[in-house]
Amino acid sequence: MKKLLSVLLSCVMCGTLMLTACDAAPEETSGGDAQAPIEEMLVGRWMSSTIDGEPAVANEKTVFYIVSPSEVYSSVSRVNENRSPWHAPSLTDFTIDGNVITFTSSPREGIAIIREYDITEISDNEFTANFVITHVRDGEETSEAARVVTFVRINDDYSSDIVGTWEGSCTSEGSVFDDGQPHRWEYHDDGTYVYYVQEGDEWVAHNDGDYFVNGILLCTRWFDGEVDNREWWEISIDGDTMSWTALRANDDGTTYTATFEMTRVAE
C-alpha cells in the first residue's frame, strides 16, 4: 500500500512540474521553433524602414531604444502643417499589452500623443505592425488612418562618435545637395552644432542649431527667422570617416538618394 501511494504521489508531482514548465515555456512560431516573449524580443534599438510596403523616406524615420519594458527612449523629428515634433532621445511612457505596444507623450499641458503599434509579425531583427497615432487635445481625440510599418533592429549607435568637427562634400551627382562645394559641421556634446561655409581660405559660421543621433539616425534643426528647417540622414562612422545617406521625396512623389562623405578635422 505504501509503495502504491508513493507511486501515485510521484505521478502527481511529475504532472505538476510538467504543467509549470509548459506555462513558463516560450511560445512557438508557426514553424515549430521556440520564440521568446515579445517583451524580450523588443529589447534593443529599432528604426522604421518601410511604410505601407514602401521604403520610408528619411523624414519619416522613427527610432525606439527599448532598454526594458520600464525604460524606453524614442526619437521623432517631423515637420507637418500644424505640428512639428522634435523629440531627441527621451524617456517615454511605454506599455506592452499582448502584441500591442503603446507610446504616450505629452508635449504640453492638455495635449497627449498616443502611438499604438499592433505587432503582426516579429523576428530577432524585424517586426511589422499596424500603426495608429491618436492626438488628444483638451479631451477630444483625433486619430490618423492606420498604416503598416516595418521596423528593423539597429546595432550601431553613433551618438558619441559624431562629436567633433567634420569636413566633406556631396557625393550624389545631380541631387539638390550637389553644389560642388566643401562643407563643415561642428557637433557639440550638448546637442548643438555649427555649420560653416568656406570663403576663400576661411571657414565662416553660416548657421547653428540643434541635433540628435539615435542609433544611425541623425536629425538636425535650425531656424531662419520663423522658418523651422530640418534635415534627416542615416549615418555610419568608421574611425575618422563619416558617410551620410538619405532617401528623399520630390514634390511629384518620386524619390532620390542623397549622399555625403566627410572626414574628421584634427583639433
Model pLDDT for residues 67-118, shown as the tens digit of each residue: 998 899 988 777 665 566 676 778 889 999 999 999 998 767 778 889 999 9
* Confidence category of residue 13, pLDDT binned at 50, 70, 90: very low
Which segments of 68-219 does DSSP mark as H helices, in order? Answer: none
Half-sphere exposure of 163 (CA within 13 A, CB side): 7
Nine cell digits for residue 75: 526619437
Rounded to the nearest integer, the mean pLDDT of the chain is 84
Q: Which CATH number fits domain 38-154: 3.40.50.180, 3.30.750.24, 2.140.10.10, 2.40.128.20?
A: 2.40.128.20
Q: What is the mean pLDDT of residues 46-60?
A: 94
Residue 217 corresponds to which amino acid?
Answer: L
> In the chain, where are the structural domains located?
38-154, 164-264
Go through 81-120 and write b for each residue having 16 or more CB atoms within 10 A of its CB, e for each that does not.
Answer: eeeeebbbbeebebebeeeebbbebeeeeeebbbbbbbbe
Residue 205 corresponds to which amino acid?
Answer: A
Task: Please give the C-alpha separations between residue 56 and each of 38, 182, 222, 259, in angstroms, as whole numbers.
Answer: 24, 28, 23, 16
Q: Which CATH number fits domain 164-264: 2.60.40.10, 2.40.128.540, 3.10.450.50, 3.40.47.10?
A: 2.40.128.540
Nearest C-alpha neighbor of 153 from the set 21, 94, 76, 65: 65
Go through 40-54 and write b for each residue having 16 or more CB atoms within 10 A of its CB, e for each that does not.
Answer: ebbeebbbbebbeee
Go through 191-202 and write b for each residue having 16 or more CB atoms within 10 A of its CB, e for each that does not.
Answer: eebbebeeeeee
Question: Is the confidence at residue 267, as pLDDT, over 80?
Answer: no
Model pLDDT for residues 103-161, shown as the tens digit of each residue: 998 767 778 889 999 999 999 999 999 999 898 888 788 877 789 999 999 999 999 99
Mean pLDDT lowest among 28-32, 142-146, 151-155, 239-243: 28-32
In this chain, the answer to whether the domains covering 38-154 and 164-264 adopt an identical fold is yes
* Confidence category of residue 240, pLDDT binned at 50, 70, 90: very high
Q: How many CB atoms lie within 10 A of CB 75?
A: 23
Q: Return d(Cα 110, Cα 123) in angstroms, integer.
A: 37
Report the pLDDT value the prediction gives residue 84, as an integer from 0 to 100: 67
168, 158 contact by CB (below 8 A)? no
